[in-house]
Amino acid sequence: MTTILAIESSCDETSAAICRDGKILSNITASQKVHEQYGGVVPELASRAHIQNIVPVVNEAVKIADCRLPAVDCIAFTQSPGLIGSLLVGAQFAKSLALSLNKPLIAVHHMQAHVLANLIADKKPSFPFLCLTVSGGHTQIVLCESPTKMKVIGETIDDAAGEAFDKSAKLLGLPYPGGPLIDKYARDGDPKQFSFPEPQIAGLNFSFSGLKTSILYFLQNAGKSNLFKEEFMATEAERKKFIKEHINDICASIQYRIITILLNKLKKACVQTGITDICLAGGVSANSGLRKAFYEMGEKNKWNCFIPDFEYCTDNAAMIAITAYYKYLAGDFSTPDVTVSARVEW
């Protein structure tokens, strides 16, 4: 029997989970509300909130799992990528706990963990599988050959998909994080009402910065054009009126374009590799339009489609725990001098 305590603290969620033999027994996450008023995550405030949250979150995870700390076989934590101060809090806590309990440590890559969140449910993809990971900071197509062997075959060259949602929402005057709000308004809108261009990027890479610019011009012109046109420039009152009257159609049209950018590249990756077990992961996989379009595309192309349960899509420690479980089986432990890294390389 192998029991793992995992800690995730890479951004603005403090999370702890207990996993026993690949089954998640608890997954407790404290979200940080302090950032809402600033329109984005403030790194210094995130680190401080992690320091406040980490002990109660770990205690709760241990309690819910009906476990005791000395019974844990190993302590896992997120090593990279993320906000450096946030990562340091989780790493220092994990190292200190491992030292005091005399247990081994396992360092986990956050993006690999998003992919392996697809191994939490009983119904698992078979290897090799492809995973489209769409979060606030990253957008990647990952080819996963085994739990410990994966490679990135496509990624964004500028903004991430979550950023595309959040920045579009900001242009519409919606609060952060705007992704879920765009999803909500889009449900009652017509995705074909307004047209935003699909970028022509070679290979399996993505780009979202052009979409953001075309939305900016479109709103500046109160819907008359998504190119910069001085003669169409609207007053602020006209812009606000246009947004208010068309919010559902605007959100549906933006969401439609983000989804087609993502899924067209995913389809290309499937054709190129011949792989038919296909997964989604990351916070944006909570988007109802993306989920629906993904399953529809899967049915049409005879893919086996997988999306983790919602609590395992956004940042969580259960995905760190499941990744650590496979690293434990492979004997892939870390030494106490392991350092955290803000960068994404793997």
Residues that bind ligand KG4 (CB under 6 A): 11, 135-137, 162, 165-166, 177, 179-180, 183, 282-284, 286-287, 314-315
- Record the tokens describing residue 167, joined without a space: 């920045």
In the bound complex, which residue of the shown chain has the CB atom lying closest to ligand KG4? 283
C-beta closer to Zn ion: residue 277 or 315: 315
Among ligand KG4, Zn ion, none, the one that 179 touches (CB under a kind-dependent 5 to 8 A) is ligand KG4
Residue 256 CA to residue 8 CA, distance in Å, equals: 32
Closest by CA to 259, choosing from 290, 305, 214, is 290
C-beta closer to ligand KG4: residue 136 or 189: 136
Q: How far is the CB of 136 from Zn ion (least distance, A)?
A: 7
C-beta closer to ligand KG4: residue 277 or 315: 315
User: Residue 335 burial by CB count (10 A; 0-12/13-18/19+): exposed, middle or buried?
Assistant: exposed
The residues of the shown chain that bind Zn ion, judged by CB under 5 A, are 135, 315
Q: How far is the CB of 315 from Zn ion (least distance, A)?
A: 4
What SS3 state is found at 95?
helix
Residue 83 CA to residue 89 CA, distance in Å, equals: 10
Q: How far is the CB of 137 from ligand KG4 (least distance, A)?
A: 4
Residue 328 CA to residue 21 CA, distance in Å, equals: 10
DSSP state of 125: P
Longest dimension (CA), the chain: 71
Q: How far is the CB of 13 from ligand KG4 (least distance, A)?
A: 7
C-beta closer to ligand KG4: residue 72 or 154: 154
C-beta closer to ligand KG4: residue 29 or 220: 29
Q: How far is the CB of 110 from Zn ion (least distance, A)?
A: 6
Among ligand KG4, Zn ion, none, the one that 286 touches (CB under a kind-dependent 5 to 8 A) is ligand KG4
Q: How far is the CB of 90 from ligand KG4 (least distance, A)?
A: 14
C-beta closer to ligand KG4: residue 97 or 317: 317
Among Zn ion, ligand KG4, none, the one that 166 touches (CB under a kind-dependent 5 to 8 A) is ligand KG4
Among ligand KG4, Zn ion, none, the one that 82 touches (CB under a kind-dependent 5 to 8 A) is none
| Residue at 207: amino acid letter | S
Q: Where does the chain have alpha helices with state H?
A: 43-64, 84-101, 110-116, 161-171, 179-186, 209-220, 236-273, 288-301, 318-329
Among ligand KG4, Zn ion, none, the one that 177 touches (CB under a kind-dependent 5 to 8 A) is ligand KG4
Cα angle 8, 11, 16 (rounded to 5 degrees) comes to 20
Contact 18, 74 (CB under 8 A): no
Helix axes 209-220, 236-273, angle to 10 degrees: 160
Q: How far is the CB of 214 from ligand KG4 (least distance, A)?
A: 19
C-beta closer to ligand KG4: residue 150 or 284: 284
Contact 320, 113 (CB under 8 A): yes
Among ligand KG4, Zn ion, none, the one that 223 touches (CB under a kind-dependent 5 to 8 A) is none
